[in-house]
Amino acid sequence: MIHHPRRQPPLHIYPPHEWALVEREFMPEFVSQGETIFALGNGYLGMRGCFEEGGPIGQNGTFINGFYESWPIVYPEAAYGLASTGQTIVDVTDTKIIKLYVDDEVFWLPHARLLHFERRLDMQAGTLDREVVWETPSGKHVSIKSRRLVSMAHRHIAAMSFQVTLLNADAPIVLSSEMIANGPSPRTNGTDPRQGKVFSGKVLHAEQRVVRDHRMVLCHTTAKSRMILACGVDHRLDGGEILSWRTEAAEDVGRSVLNVEARQGKPVTLYKYIAYQTSRTAPPEEMCARAERTLDRAVRMEFGTLLDEQRRFLDAFWAGSDIEVALRSVPGCPSPTAMQQAIRFNLFHVMQASARAEQNGIPAKGLTGQAYEGHYFWDTEIYVLPFLLYTAPQVAKHVLRFRYSLLDMARKRARELNQKGAMFPWRTINGEEASAYFLAGTAQYHINADIIYALKKYVEIADDVEFLFDEGAEMLIETARLWQSLGFYSPDGRFCLHGVTGPDEYNVLVDNNAYTSLMARENLRYAAACVERLRGERPDRFERVVHKTGLRWSEVSEWSRAADRMYVPYDQTRDITAQDSHFLEQERWDFEHVPPDKYPLLLFFHPLTIYRYQVIKQADVVLAMLLLPHEFPPDLKRRNFDYYDPLTTGDSSLSPCIQSILAAEIGDLDKAIDYACVATLIDLGDVGGNVKDGCHIAAMGGVWMLYVYGFAGLRDYGGRLRFAPRMPASLEKLRFRLIVGDRLLEVEMEPAVSTYHLCRGRNLLLWHEDKEVRLSPQTPSVTMPNTFRWTAEPPSAEEAAA
């Protein structure tokens, strides 16, 4: 149930367009939201969609994934083992600024007389474009066209073009292309725990700078995390008579200022090439040289080539990752085109957050904002990975490899917490636990099982057993050890996990959270199965991992025993899974009398108040039913959903997508559609009212899931693909592609039939409901009737007669 007020989505400001978000007016009241929505990124580098003039600014931001500053977490009442060092992604050197002066009058959006304004996020070209016609105070008409990209092909490169054309007169113009480090801090409201930390002093300390021709490079370091950043820009001009061009740089500011005589009708175009390089070890000279080499390459390629490459990347991305829908209007949902636009917007941002993340994780906000400090959570493995796995398996592998790279730190953290094995941090950038609120942070032990769940799914779908045997086995052994040491046997022989927090952060430090216990059981079983398989199939690698981890064979049988005896609470009276051992004994939250403006509860009620009630922040048991469908018979799924759905506040953006999927599975398609609309519009509709702080990347990954796992009804537990379509009559067509091992499968569904088409690769066996579908190069397409009928849609006369 969504208990929030349904906000009036700002969607109406973006007219429906299948492939772009277009803003036709400069709206000062939407500056911050626009910065998020129009943000560009490639997973390594991200730039909020701020205006070229350097203002007006809501929250400026340029981010490099994993580039953070650390700070001591101060606890007025400290305790042993609490996270001691915070990590916050740094707002790095801003290179987006190009200021324009015509006849010495500055172009500044809030004051300018605008004859035309359009800003466009072009999701096919991968660019942010703006076209403006400005009438200067003396009546000159100036066309300003800018275009910006963060390159997918070259992760260290961004580029801009800025074209000025005098439409009705000649004029001297000045272009000031700038770069600024340590710009103004973002504004926060101070009470929202989801926002990032604001540093009081300078975060970036100048080390070195280079100025050469029209190029400038600034190198900075962070004081505590000792990270090094070199950022450079270079320029080329096309058109106009150059009167002067000076480029200079101080510690934190660089400016390249051109005086140009512009003639009526003759465009003057400035190209700005931008490079970011970061390191933990290389000295500043080396970093400046790296940035310069990147700039050399960007300049040599020219803007046109960068644009072409970007388009090619996007073409390939959409060919493999699009979700195409043909919808009929649904009351309460935006128009069909607006829904298609919103779906693509979500996929586009997930791609921007992940494509070139490579040795890093995927921050909760991608690189669109500083909220959640640029940290990586379970969001990646549970909400984003399914999309990556089926559309960009290489990126999914990077994400898992990144977790593997943190394994030693996770081992250390387990020791600190008096446990065995490895314990991955709830939130982190560098691998250390950075959650200062352990109740809803470190206590979410389930992140360990979530990582393993994602690993298992990756291995099964991508058919990458080498990864399992190389990195996976070690992660499995250490996480299984964690569960083994964390749990204990009750006198009646049940394996219990006490003092844990499940996904629902409104119930903390509980005993036997069902989600955690079920996922831990998976983790233990998969660990046992993996080492047994490894011993049988690759004795040499088995020996290696035994040597590295000190594994004793007796441990393996202990894991299986713990898994078999894992206690998952069940309420016999209500005949439902209990969220934890005590949840159902608590008083029910007074939904009837708490007004909608008191949500999200975390901003209006003390945690102790919230923790006393049956009230849920986000899908917990309901999520377990999606991830581990075989654990719940169909009638139990329905009972669980009916019980927990009304208690779920919608205070987290991670819920509606999951609720939609489960509602579809149990056949409540009205609810499924309702949740799907909310989920699809989480950011474009600003459902949570905080899109200004950045995109909700997990929820965006959840949008892919809700169409594929929800309406198409995919279940893939154990690597076996089974579709049980739940196509509402309003969804006339749903089409998407999945990479499965070395095959490419296209799925096209209509309310009555589903077609499976093998576009590439060898034979593929899948299930449509309970029927086998065998695809092969000889029989690449099979169409099957959908047997599930939406009860809201009465059967036709013939169907009824049949």
747 binds ligand BGC (CB under 6 A): no
The nearest distance, CB 656 to ligand BGC, in angstroms, is 13
For residues 262 and 602, which CB has a smaller minimum distance to ligand BGC in the complex? 602
For residues 503 and 656, which CB has a smaller minimum distance to ligand BGC in the complex? 503
90 binds ligand BGC (CB under 6 A): no
For residues 37 and 654, which CB has a smaller minimum distance to ligand BGC in the complex? 654
Angle at which helices 473-486 and 514-537 pack, to 10 degrees?
140
E strand or H helix at 339: helix 336-354
Report d(CA 501, CA 519) in Å as an integer: 13
The nearest distance, CB 698 to ligand BGC, in angstroms, is 5
The nearest distance, CB 697 to ligand BGC, in angstroms, is 8
**Nearest partner of 471 among 406, 528, 421, 529, judged by Cα:** 406
- Helix residue ranges, H only, 1-107: 31-37
Q: Which two tokens stand for residue 371?
A: 């909220």
Is the preceding peptide bond at 56 cis, omega within 30 degrees of 0? yes
Q: Which two tokens stand for residue 777?
A: 């190069």
The nearest distance, CB 595 to ligand BGC, in angstroms, is 22
555 binds ligand BGC (CB under 6 A): no
Candidate segments 316-324, 375-383, 577-585, 715-723, binder of ligand BGC by CB under 6 A: 375-383
Report d(CA 90, CA 224) in Å as an integer: 12
378 binds ligand BGC (CB under 6 A): yes
269 sits in the region (left: phi over 0; alpha: psi -120 to 50; else beta) called: beta
Torsion of CA 501, 505, 510, 516, to 10 degrees: -40
Convert residues 389-418 into a mask of x (bound to ligand BGC by CB under 6 A) and - (unbound): ------------------------------
What distance lies between CA 387 and its chain's CA centroid?
A: 10
Candidate segments 373-381, 458-466, 543-551, 580-588, binder of ligand BGC by CB under 6 A: 373-381
Which one of the listed residues 52, 432, 505, 748 is annotated catalytic? 505
Report d(CA 504, CA 580) in Å as an integer: 11
Give φ, ψ of 555 to 5 degrees. -60, -40
The nearest distance, CB 369 to ligand BGC, in angstroms, is 12
The nearest distance, CB 651 to ligand BGC, in angstroms, is 8
For residues 48 and 617, which CB has a smaller minimum distance to ligand BGC in the complex? 617
- 131 part of the active site: no
364 binds ligand BGC (CB under 6 A): yes
Contact 482, 450 (CB under 8 A): no
For residues 569 and 650, which CB has a smaller minimum distance to ligand BGC in the complex? 650
For residues 181 and 654, which CB has a smaller minimum distance to ligand BGC in the complex? 654
Span 475-504, contacts to ligand BGC by CB under 6 A: 503
121 strand-pairing partners: 21, 128
450 binds ligand BGC (CB under 6 A): no
For residues 349 and 735, which CB has a smaller minimum distance to ligand BGC in the complex? 349
Report d(CA 497, CA 488) in Å as an integer: 7
Convert residues 698-737 into a mask of x (bound to ligand BGC by CB under 6 A) and - (unbound): x---------------------------------------
**Nearest partner of 603 among 1, 4, 197, judged by Cα:** 4
Residue 400 contacts by C-beta under 8 Å, 6 or more apart in sequence? Answer: 451, 454, 455, 458, 467, 471, 472
The nearest distance, CB 378 to ligand BGC, in angstroms, is 6
**Nearest partner of 461 among 56, 76, 745, 790, judged by Cα:** 745
Indicate which single residue of 129, 379, 471, 478 sits in contact with ligand BGC (rule: CB under 6 A). Answer: 379
Convert residues 563-602 into a mask of x (bound to ligand BGC by CB under 6 A) and - (unbound): ----------------------------------------
**Nearest partner of 475 among 401, 544, 413, 415, judged by Cα:** 401
For residues 117 and 376, which CB has a smaller minimum distance to ligand BGC in the complex? 376
372 binds ligand BGC (CB under 6 A): yes
For residues 163 and 188, which CB has a smaller minimum distance to ligand BGC in the complex? 188
Residue 427 contacts by C-beta under 8 Å, 6 or more apart in sequence? Answer: 372, 373, 375, 376, 377, 433, 434, 435, 441
Span 22-81, contacts to ligand BGC by CB under 6 A: none
- Helix residue ranges, H only, 433-538: 446-462, 465-467, 473-486, 514-537
For residues 287 and 697, which CB has a smaller minimum distance to ligand BGC in the complex? 697
Q: Compute the residue count for the chain.
A: 802
Residue 507 contacts by C-beta under 8 Å, 6 or more apart in sequence? Answer: 501, 513, 579, 580, 583, 611, 616
For 148-191, what is the HEC assignment?
A: EEECCCCCCEEEEEEEEEECCCCEEEEEEEEEECCCCCCCCCCC
Candidate segments 296-304, 372-380, 454-462, 768-776, binder of ligand BGC by CB under 6 A: 372-380
Indicate which single residue of 134, 348, 377, 495 sits in contact with ligand BGC (rule: CB under 6 A). Answer: 377
Give φ, ψ of 701 to 5 degrees. -65, -35
- Determine the residue with CB nearest ligand BGC: 377
**Nearest partner of 178 among 105, 87, 270, judged by Cα:** 270
87 binds ligand BGC (CB under 6 A): no
Report d(CA 710, CA 693) in Å as an integer: 28
For residues 234 and 693, which CB has a smaller minimum distance to ligand BGC in the complex? 693
The nearest distance, CB 17 to ligand BGC, in angstroms, is 28
Contact 514, 500 (CB under 8 A): no
Span 640-679, contacts to ligand BGC by CB under 6 A: 652, 654
Q: From start to end of 585-730, where are the E strands? A: 587-588, 613-614, 714-715, 722-723
505 binds ligand BGC (CB under 6 A): yes
The nearest distance, CB 505 to ligand BGC, in angstroms, is 5
The nearest distance, CB 1 to ligand BGC, in angstroms, is 17
The nearest distance, CB 618 to ligand BGC, in angstroms, is 5
> Annotated binding residue at 352?
no
Candidate segments 59-67, 377-385, 556-564, 627-635, binder of ligand BGC by CB under 6 A: 377-385
User: How many residues in the shown chain lie near ligand BGC by CB under 6 A?
Assistant: 12
Span 615-634, contacts to ligand BGC by CB under 6 A: 617-618
Candidate segments 36-44, 370-378, 453-461, 558-566, binder of ligand BGC by CB under 6 A: 370-378
For residues 292 and 373, which CB has a smaller minimum distance to ligand BGC in the complex? 373
Q: Which two tokens stand for residue 137?
A: 């105070």
- Helix residue ranges, H only, 362-440: 379, 385-391, 393-405, 407-416
The nearest distance, CB 383 to ligand BGC, in angstroms, is 8
Candidate segments 216-224, 371-379, 463-471, 518-526, binder of ligand BGC by CB under 6 A: 371-379
> Annotated binding residue at 379?
yes
Candidate segments 89-97, 115-123, 374-382, 431-439, binder of ligand BGC by CB under 6 A: 374-382
Q: From start to end of 662-802, where are the E strands? A: 714-715, 722-723, 731-740, 743-749, 753-760, 764-768, 771-775, 781-785
Report d(CA 34, CA 118) in Å as an integer: 13
Binding-site residue ranges: 378-379, 617-618
Binding-site residue ranges for substrate: 378-379, 617-618
Catalytic residues: 505
User: In the complex, which residues of this chain contact ligand BGC (CB under 6 A)?
Assistant: 364, 372, 377-379, 503, 505, 617-618, 652, 654, 698
